[in-house]
Structure 1
Protein backbone atom coordinates (compact mmCIF):
# COMPACT_ATOMS: atom_id res chain seq x y z
CA UNK A 1 0.00 0.00 0.00
CA UNK A 2 1.26 3.47 -0.92
CA UNK A 3 0.31 6.88 0.36
CA UNK A 4 -0.90 9.51 -2.11
CA UNK A 5 -1.79 13.14 -1.57
CA UNK A 6 -4.34 14.72 -3.89
CA UNK A 7 -4.35 18.52 -3.95
CA UNK A 8 -7.47 19.88 -5.64
CA UNK A 9 -10.78 18.03 -5.73
CA UNK A 10 -12.42 18.98 -8.98
CA UNK A 11 -13.66 16.24 -11.30
CA UNK A 12 -10.14 15.07 -12.15
CA UNK A 13 -8.67 15.18 -8.65
CA UNK A 14 -11.69 13.51 -7.08
CA UNK A 15 -11.68 10.75 -9.70
CA UNK A 16 -7.99 10.02 -9.09
CA UNK A 17 -8.48 10.01 -5.33
CA UNK A 18 -11.43 7.65 -5.46
CA UNK A 19 -9.71 5.28 -7.90
CA UNK A 20 -6.50 5.11 -5.86
CA UNK A 21 -8.47 4.49 -2.68
CA UNK A 22 -10.42 1.78 -4.48
CA UNK A 23 -7.12 0.09 -5.27
CA UNK A 24 -6.38 -0.12 -1.56
CA UNK A 25 -3.99 2.81 -1.17
CA UNK A 26 -3.79 5.39 1.61
CA UNK A 27 -5.20 8.56 0.06
CA UNK A 28 -5.19 12.02 1.62
CA UNK A 29 -7.33 14.56 -0.23
CA UNK A 30 -7.06 18.33 0.20
CA UNK A 31 -9.12 21.25 -1.07
CA UNK A 32 -10.24 24.68 0.10
CA UNK A 33 -13.85 23.83 -0.79
CA UNK A 34 -15.64 22.22 2.16
CA UNK A 35 -18.31 20.69 -0.07
CA UNK A 36 -15.71 18.98 -2.25
CA UNK A 37 -13.95 17.66 0.85
CA UNK A 38 -17.21 16.36 2.31
CA UNK A 39 -18.06 14.63 -0.98
CA UNK A 40 -14.73 12.81 -1.23
CA UNK A 41 -14.64 11.91 2.47
CA UNK A 42 -16.17 8.42 2.13
CA UNK A 43 -13.86 7.64 -0.78
CA UNK A 44 -10.44 8.33 0.73
CA UNK A 45 -8.46 7.70 3.89
CA UNK A 46 -8.56 11.31 5.00
CA UNK A 47 -10.06 14.48 3.57
CA UNK A 48 -8.98 17.88 4.82
CA UNK A 49 -10.04 21.45 4.17
CA UNK A 50 -6.92 23.49 3.62
CA UNK A 51 -4.64 25.37 1.27
CA UNK A 52 -2.48 22.90 -0.64
CA UNK A 53 -0.01 25.68 -1.41
CA UNK A 54 1.04 25.78 2.23
CA UNK A 55 3.86 23.39 3.16
CA UNK A 56 2.94 23.61 6.86
CA UNK A 57 -0.62 22.54 6.15
CA UNK A 58 0.54 19.66 3.94
CA UNK A 59 3.01 18.55 6.59
CA UNK A 60 0.26 18.59 9.22
CA UNK A 61 -1.84 16.09 7.26
CA UNK A 62 1.09 13.76 6.62
CA UNK A 63 2.07 14.73 3.09
CA UNK A 64 5.79 14.41 3.81
CA UNK A 65 5.34 10.65 4.14
CA UNK A 66 3.58 10.35 0.78
CA UNK A 67 5.02 8.21 -1.99
CA UNK A 68 3.53 10.50 -4.64
CA UNK A 69 1.14 13.42 -5.07
CA UNK A 70 -1.33 14.61 -7.67
CA UNK A 71 -1.89 18.34 -8.08
CA UNK A 72 -5.18 19.27 -9.74
CA UNK A 73 -6.02 22.89 -8.98
CA UNK A 74 -8.34 23.64 -11.87
CA UNK A 75 -7.44 26.68 -13.96
CA UNK A 76 -5.25 28.23 -11.27
CA UNK A 77 -1.77 27.79 -12.72
CA UNK A 78 -0.12 29.70 -9.89
CA UNK A 79 -1.75 27.45 -7.31
CA UNK A 80 -0.46 24.33 -9.06
CA UNK A 81 3.07 25.74 -9.15
CA UNK A 82 3.02 26.68 -5.48
CA UNK A 83 1.45 23.38 -4.40
CA UNK A 84 4.06 21.45 -6.37
CA UNK A 85 6.88 23.43 -4.80
CA UNK A 86 5.42 22.93 -1.32
CA UNK A 87 5.23 19.17 -1.87
CA UNK A 88 8.79 19.08 -3.16
CA UNK A 89 9.95 21.07 -0.15
CA UNK A 90 8.47 18.31 2.01
CA UNK A 91 10.44 15.69 0.11
CA UNK A 92 7.68 14.34 -2.13
CA UNK A 93 9.75 13.60 -5.21
CA UNK A 94 7.04 12.14 -7.45
CA UNK A 95 4.41 14.72 -8.35
CA UNK A 96 1.84 14.48 -11.14
CA UNK A 97 0.20 17.70 -12.26
CA UNK A 98 -2.96 18.40 -14.22
CA UNK A 99 -2.17 21.21 -16.67
CA UNK A 100 -4.33 23.54 -18.70
CA UNK A 101 -1.96 24.55 -21.51
CA UNK A 102 1.32 23.70 -23.18
CA UNK A 103 2.98 26.62 -21.39
CA UNK A 104 1.70 25.32 -18.07
CA UNK A 105 3.10 21.87 -18.90
CA UNK A 106 6.48 23.35 -19.84
CA UNK A 107 6.72 25.22 -16.54
CA UNK A 108 5.83 22.13 -14.55
CA UNK A 109 8.40 20.03 -16.40
CA UNK A 110 11.02 22.64 -15.55
CA UNK A 111 10.07 22.13 -11.91
CA UNK A 112 10.88 18.46 -12.34
CA UNK A 113 7.44 16.89 -11.95
CA UNK A 114 7.06 13.24 -12.85
CA UNK A 115 4.34 13.82 -15.43
CA UNK A 116 1.92 16.44 -16.68
CA UNK A 117 -1.64 15.47 -17.58
CA UNK A 118 -3.83 17.47 -19.96
CA UNK A 119 -7.19 15.63 -19.66
CA UNK A 120 -9.22 17.83 -22.02
CA UNK A 121 -6.66 17.68 -24.83
CA UNK A 122 -5.95 13.98 -24.34
CA UNK A 123 -9.68 13.17 -24.36
CA UNK A 124 -10.10 15.22 -27.53
CA UNK A 125 -7.23 13.43 -29.26
CA UNK A 126 -8.65 10.09 -28.13
CA UNK A 127 -12.09 10.86 -29.50
CA UNK A 128 -10.76 12.25 -32.78
CA UNK A 129 -8.62 9.17 -33.31
CA UNK A 130 -11.51 6.81 -32.66
CA UNK A 131 -14.03 8.53 -34.91
CA UNK A 132 -11.65 9.34 -37.77
CA UNK A 133 -10.41 5.75 -38.16
CA UNK A 134 -13.12 3.09 -38.14
CA UNK A 135 -10.60 0.42 -37.20
CA UNK A 136 -9.54 2.22 -34.00
CA UNK A 137 -11.34 0.96 -30.89
CA UNK A 138 -9.31 2.79 -28.23
CA UNK A 139 -6.49 5.31 -28.22
CA UNK A 140 -4.17 6.29 -25.38
CA UNK A 141 -1.60 8.99 -25.97
CA UNK A 142 1.76 8.16 -24.36
CA UNK A 143 3.88 11.06 -25.57
CA UNK A 144 4.27 13.66 -28.28
CA UNK A 145 4.37 11.02 -31.02
CA UNK A 146 3.76 7.77 -29.15
CA UNK A 147 0.53 5.98 -28.38
CA UNK A 148 -1.10 2.70 -27.48
CA UNK A 149 -4.05 1.87 -29.71
CA UNK A 150 -6.57 -0.94 -29.85
CA UNK A 151 -7.43 -1.94 -33.42
CA UNK A 152 -9.59 -4.54 -35.06
CA UNK A 153 -7.58 -7.30 -36.71
CA UNK A 154 -7.07 -6.52 -40.42
CA UNK A 155 -8.77 -9.11 -42.59
CA UNK A 156 -5.55 -10.19 -44.28
CA UNK A 157 -4.03 -10.97 -40.86
CA UNK A 158 -6.84 -13.27 -39.76
CA UNK A 159 -5.89 -16.93 -39.65
CA UNK A 160 -2.22 -16.06 -39.17
CA UNK A 161 -0.06 -15.90 -36.05
CA UNK A 162 1.94 -12.93 -34.81
CA UNK A 163 5.09 -14.92 -35.44
CA UNK A 164 4.13 -15.39 -39.07
CA UNK A 165 3.17 -11.74 -39.53
CA UNK A 166 6.28 -10.38 -37.76
CA UNK A 167 4.44 -7.10 -37.19
CA UNK A 168 7.37 -5.41 -35.48
CA UNK A 169 9.70 -5.93 -38.44
CA UNK A 170 7.05 -5.16 -41.05
CA UNK A 171 5.41 -2.13 -39.44
CA UNK A 172 7.68 -1.01 -36.61
CA UNK A 173 5.02 -1.48 -33.92
CA UNK A 174 4.75 -3.89 -30.99
CA UNK A 175 1.68 -6.02 -30.29
CA UNK A 176 1.57 -5.81 -26.49
CA UNK A 177 -1.74 -7.58 -26.05
CA UNK A 178 -4.73 -9.24 -27.67
CA UNK A 179 -8.29 -8.60 -26.56
CA UNK A 180 -10.50 -11.62 -27.12
CA UNK A 181 -13.74 -9.68 -27.37
CA UNK A 182 -16.03 -12.72 -27.41
CA UNK A 183 -14.80 -13.81 -23.96
CA UNK A 184 -13.83 -10.24 -23.01
CA UNK A 185 -10.40 -11.53 -22.04
CA UNK A 186 -7.18 -9.54 -22.34
CA UNK A 187 -4.06 -11.59 -23.10
CA UNK A 188 -0.86 -9.77 -22.12
CA UNK A 189 1.67 -10.60 -23.41
CA UNK A 190 0.14 -12.34 -26.41
CA UNK A 191 1.13 -15.83 -27.48
CA UNK A 192 3.02 -15.36 -30.78
CA UNK A 193 1.74 -18.73 -32.00
CA UNK A 194 -1.97 -18.10 -31.40
CA UNK A 195 -4.04 -17.67 -34.56
CA UNK A 196 -5.70 -14.28 -34.91
CA UNK A 197 -9.49 -14.30 -35.21
CA UNK A 198 -12.03 -11.77 -36.45
CA UNK A 199 -13.32 -11.41 -32.88
CA UNK A 200 -9.89 -10.30 -31.65
CA UNK A 201 -8.58 -6.77 -31.33
CA UNK A 202 -4.89 -5.89 -31.15
CA UNK A 203 -3.24 -3.65 -28.55
CA UNK A 204 -0.41 -1.92 -30.43
CA UNK A 205 2.32 0.37 -29.11
CA UNK A 206 4.50 2.58 -31.25
CA UNK A 207 4.70 5.88 -33.06
CA UNK A 208 1.48 7.37 -34.40
CA UNK A 209 2.80 7.10 -37.96
CA UNK A 210 3.68 3.43 -37.63
CA UNK A 211 0.36 2.50 -36.05
CA UNK A 212 -1.49 4.55 -38.67
CA UNK A 213 -0.22 2.15 -41.35
CA UNK A 214 -1.86 -0.73 -39.48
CA UNK A 215 -4.95 1.39 -38.79
CA UNK A 216 -5.37 1.90 -42.53
CA UNK A 217 -5.63 -1.87 -42.96
CA UNK A 218 -8.01 -2.12 -40.01
CA UNK A 219 -10.12 0.75 -41.36
CA UNK A 220 -10.40 -0.92 -44.75
CA UNK A 221 -11.48 -4.11 -43.00
CA UNK A 222 -14.19 -2.25 -41.07
CA UNK A 223 -15.47 -0.52 -44.22
CA UNK A 224 -15.60 -3.81 -46.16
CA UNK A 225 -17.68 -5.33 -43.38
CA UNK A 226 -20.40 -2.67 -43.76
Structure 2
Protein backbone atom coordinates (compact mmCIF):
# COMPACT_ATOMS: atom_id res chain seq x y z
CA UNK A 1 0.00 0.00 0.00
CA UNK A 2 1.31 3.44 -0.96
CA UNK A 3 0.41 6.95 0.18
CA UNK A 4 -0.63 8.93 -2.89
CA UNK A 5 -1.67 12.58 -3.29
CA UNK A 6 -4.04 13.48 -6.15
CA UNK A 7 -4.09 17.17 -7.09
CA UNK A 8 -6.78 18.21 -9.57
CA UNK A 9 -9.35 21.03 -9.63
CA UNK A 10 -12.01 18.79 -11.21
CA UNK A 11 -14.11 16.94 -8.64
CA UNK A 12 -14.98 14.14 -11.07
CA UNK A 13 -11.31 13.45 -11.82
CA UNK A 14 -10.40 13.43 -8.14
CA UNK A 15 -13.21 11.02 -7.28
CA UNK A 16 -12.41 8.70 -10.20
CA UNK A 17 -8.69 8.49 -9.48
CA UNK A 18 -9.34 8.09 -5.76
CA UNK A 19 -11.74 5.19 -6.36
CA UNK A 20 -9.36 3.39 -8.71
CA UNK A 21 -6.35 3.80 -6.43
CA UNK A 22 -8.32 2.87 -3.31
CA UNK A 23 -9.44 -0.30 -5.06
CA UNK A 24 -5.76 -1.08 -5.62
CA UNK A 25 -5.19 -0.84 -1.88
CA UNK A 26 -3.51 2.56 -1.81
CA UNK A 27 -4.16 5.36 0.69
CA UNK A 28 -5.23 8.49 -1.21
CA UNK A 29 -5.37 12.16 -0.17
CA UNK A 30 -7.06 14.74 -2.39
CA UNK A 31 -6.30 18.40 -3.12
CA UNK A 32 -8.25 20.63 -5.47
CA UNK A 33 -5.58 23.32 -5.90
CA UNK A 34 -1.94 24.13 -5.24
CA UNK A 35 -2.68 25.68 -1.85
CA UNK A 36 -4.21 22.45 -0.56
CA UNK A 37 -1.41 20.45 -2.20
CA UNK A 38 1.25 22.49 -0.36
CA UNK A 39 -0.51 21.93 2.97
CA UNK A 40 -0.88 18.20 2.33
CA UNK A 41 2.79 17.91 1.30
CA UNK A 42 3.90 19.63 4.52
CA UNK A 43 1.71 17.44 6.71
CA UNK A 44 2.41 14.06 5.09
CA UNK A 45 5.02 11.92 3.38
CA UNK A 46 3.82 10.68 -0.01
CA UNK A 47 5.16 7.85 -2.13
CA UNK A 48 3.76 9.43 -5.30
CA UNK A 49 1.84 12.53 -6.47
CA UNK A 50 -0.56 12.84 -9.40
CA UNK A 51 -0.50 16.55 -10.32
CA UNK A 52 -2.78 18.37 -12.76
CA UNK A 53 -1.11 21.05 -14.87
CA UNK A 54 -3.98 23.53 -15.30
CA UNK A 55 -5.32 24.74 -11.95
CA UNK A 56 -6.96 28.04 -10.97
CA UNK A 57 -4.46 29.36 -8.40
CA UNK A 58 -1.03 27.99 -9.32
CA UNK A 59 -0.44 25.71 -12.29
CA UNK A 60 1.09 22.29 -11.75
CA UNK A 61 4.39 23.07 -13.49
CA UNK A 62 4.94 26.08 -11.23
CA UNK A 63 4.17 23.98 -8.16
CA UNK A 64 6.60 21.33 -9.40
CA UNK A 65 9.30 24.03 -9.78
CA UNK A 66 8.53 25.26 -6.28
CA UNK A 67 8.98 21.80 -4.77
CA UNK A 68 12.17 21.20 -6.75
CA UNK A 69 13.66 24.55 -5.66
CA UNK A 70 12.84 23.76 -2.02
CA UNK A 71 14.43 20.30 -2.34
CA UNK A 72 11.18 18.59 -1.31
CA UNK A 73 10.66 16.78 -4.61
CA UNK A 74 11.44 13.49 -2.89
CA UNK A 75 8.65 11.46 -4.51
CA UNK A 76 7.78 10.66 -8.14
CA UNK A 77 5.34 13.19 -9.62
CA UNK A 78 3.10 12.21 -12.53
CA UNK A 79 1.75 15.24 -14.40
CA UNK A 80 -1.78 15.18 -15.87
CA UNK A 81 -3.43 17.37 -18.48
CA UNK A 82 -5.86 17.32 -21.35
CA UNK A 83 -4.51 20.45 -23.04
CA UNK A 84 -0.77 20.49 -22.44
CA UNK A 85 1.65 20.89 -25.32
CA UNK A 86 4.71 18.75 -25.93
CA UNK A 87 6.87 21.66 -24.73
CA UNK A 88 4.99 21.71 -21.43
CA UNK A 89 5.47 17.98 -20.94
CA UNK A 90 9.19 18.27 -21.77
CA UNK A 91 9.59 21.17 -19.33
CA UNK A 92 7.85 19.25 -16.55
CA UNK A 93 10.11 16.26 -17.16
CA UNK A 94 13.20 18.49 -17.14
CA UNK A 95 12.16 19.96 -13.78
CA UNK A 96 11.79 16.51 -12.26
CA UNK A 97 8.39 15.02 -13.18
CA UNK A 98 8.50 11.24 -13.48
CA UNK A 99 6.01 10.94 -16.33
CA UNK A 100 3.03 12.56 -18.05
CA UNK A 101 -0.56 11.32 -18.46
CA UNK A 102 -2.87 12.82 -21.07
CA UNK A 103 -6.56 13.16 -20.17
CA UNK A 104 -8.90 11.39 -20.45
CA UNK A 105 -6.85 8.92 -18.44
CA UNK A 106 -7.59 5.24 -18.94
CA UNK A 107 -7.38 2.94 -15.93
CA UNK A 108 -4.72 0.81 -17.64
CA UNK A 109 -2.43 3.80 -18.29
CA UNK A 110 -3.00 5.15 -14.79
CA UNK A 111 -2.15 1.90 -13.03
CA UNK A 112 0.89 1.31 -15.23
CA UNK A 113 2.26 4.81 -14.56
CA UNK A 114 1.60 4.51 -10.82
CA UNK A 115 3.22 1.08 -10.66
CA UNK A 116 6.31 2.33 -12.49
CA UNK A 117 6.54 5.43 -10.30
CA UNK A 118 6.29 3.44 -7.10
CA UNK A 119 8.82 0.92 -8.38
CA UNK A 120 11.33 3.72 -8.98
CA UNK A 121 10.61 5.18 -5.55
CA UNK A 122 11.17 1.82 -3.84
CA UNK A 123 14.38 1.30 -5.80
CA UNK A 124 16.03 4.30 -4.11
CA UNK A 125 18.69 3.34 -1.52
CA UNK A 126 17.24 3.12 1.97
CA UNK A 127 18.91 4.63 5.02
CA UNK A 128 20.84 2.11 7.16
CA UNK A 129 18.64 0.56 9.80
CA UNK A 130 19.46 1.57 13.38
CA UNK A 131 18.18 -1.70 14.76
CA UNK A 132 17.11 -5.16 13.67
CA UNK A 133 13.76 -5.33 11.83
CA UNK A 134 10.70 -5.74 13.99
CA UNK A 135 9.97 -9.13 12.42
CA UNK A 136 13.14 -10.49 14.01
CA UNK A 137 11.97 -9.60 17.52
CA UNK A 138 9.93 -11.87 19.71
CA UNK A 139 6.25 -10.91 20.04
CA UNK A 140 5.48 -8.76 23.07
CA UNK A 141 1.99 -10.21 23.44
CA UNK A 142 2.18 -13.87 24.62
CA UNK A 143 -1.19 -14.52 22.93
CA UNK A 144 0.26 -13.66 19.54
CA UNK A 145 2.45 -15.69 17.23
CA UNK A 146 4.54 -14.17 14.44
CA UNK A 147 4.86 -15.66 10.97
CA UNK A 148 7.32 -13.83 8.68
CA UNK A 149 6.10 -10.19 8.52
CA UNK A 150 2.50 -10.94 9.56
CA UNK A 151 1.26 -11.30 13.12
CA UNK A 152 -1.46 -13.88 13.75
CA UNK A 153 -3.52 -14.27 16.95
CA UNK A 154 -3.06 -17.63 18.63
CA UNK A 155 -6.09 -19.87 18.13
CA UNK A 156 -6.92 -18.41 14.70
CA UNK A 157 -6.29 -20.59 11.65
CA UNK A 158 -3.41 -18.70 10.01
CA UNK A 159 -4.20 -19.97 6.51
CA UNK A 160 -2.04 -18.65 3.66
CA UNK A 161 -0.30 -16.02 5.74
CA UNK A 162 1.46 -18.67 7.82
CA UNK A 163 4.01 -19.14 5.04
CA UNK A 164 7.50 -17.89 5.85
CA UNK A 165 7.42 -15.76 2.70
CA UNK A 166 5.86 -15.25 -0.71
CA UNK A 167 6.97 -16.45 -4.12
CA UNK A 168 8.79 -13.39 -5.42
CA UNK A 169 9.83 -15.03 -8.69
CA UNK A 170 6.69 -13.90 -10.52
CA UNK A 171 5.19 -10.69 -11.97
CA UNK A 172 4.74 -7.83 -9.49
CA UNK A 173 0.94 -7.74 -9.78
CA UNK A 174 0.62 -11.47 -9.03
CA UNK A 175 2.99 -11.21 -6.07
CA UNK A 176 1.08 -8.19 -4.74
CA UNK A 177 -2.27 -9.94 -5.15
CA UNK A 178 -0.94 -12.91 -3.17
CA UNK A 179 0.18 -10.68 -0.33
CA UNK A 180 -3.04 -8.64 -0.33
CA UNK A 181 -5.18 -11.79 -0.21
CA UNK A 182 -3.22 -13.08 2.78
CA UNK A 183 -3.40 -9.63 4.39
CA UNK A 184 -7.19 -9.41 4.14
CA UNK A 185 -7.73 -13.05 5.17
CA UNK A 186 -5.64 -12.37 8.26
CA UNK A 187 -7.74 -9.34 9.25
CA UNK A 188 -11.00 -11.16 8.52
CA UNK A 189 -9.90 -14.01 10.77
CA UNK A 190 -8.74 -11.69 13.55
CA UNK A 191 -11.93 -9.62 13.47
CA UNK A 192 -14.21 -12.65 13.31
CA UNK A 193 -15.46 -11.76 9.84
CA UNK A 194 -16.67 -8.26 10.85
CA UNK A 195 -16.45 -6.15 7.69
CA UNK A 196 -16.90 -2.96 9.71
CA UNK A 197 -13.86 -3.65 11.88
CA UNK A 198 -11.80 -4.89 8.92
CA UNK A 199 -12.64 -1.67 7.03
CA UNK A 200 -11.48 0.37 10.03
CA UNK A 201 -8.27 -1.64 10.41
CA UNK A 202 -7.33 -1.51 6.73
CA UNK A 203 -8.43 2.08 6.11
CA UNK A 204 -10.80 1.20 3.26
CA UNK A 205 -14.43 2.14 2.80
CA UNK A 206 -16.77 -0.85 3.03
CA UNK A 207 -17.76 -0.58 -0.64
CA UNK A 208 -14.12 -0.56 -1.74
CA UNK A 209 -13.34 -3.36 0.71
CA UNK A 210 -16.07 -5.66 -0.64
CA UNK A 211 -14.97 -4.97 -4.20
CA UNK A 212 -11.33 -5.65 -3.34
CA UNK A 213 -12.14 -8.93 -1.56
CA UNK A 214 -14.22 -10.15 -4.50
CA UNK A 215 -11.41 -9.18 -6.89
CA UNK A 216 -8.87 -11.17 -4.87
CA UNK A 217 -11.17 -14.18 -4.45
CA UNK A 218 -11.19 -13.94 -0.65
CA UNK A 219 -13.67 -16.27 1.09
CA UNK A 220 -15.82 -13.86 3.13
CA UNK A 221 -17.02 -16.69 5.37
CA UNK A 222 -13.53 -17.71 6.41
CA UNK A 223 -13.23 -15.38 9.41
CA UNK A 224 -16.62 -16.38 10.81
CA UNK A 225 -15.85 -20.09 10.53
CA UNK A 226 -12.59 -19.57 12.36
State TM-score, norm by structure 1.
0.38
Between Structure 1 and Structure 2, the one with more strand by share is 1
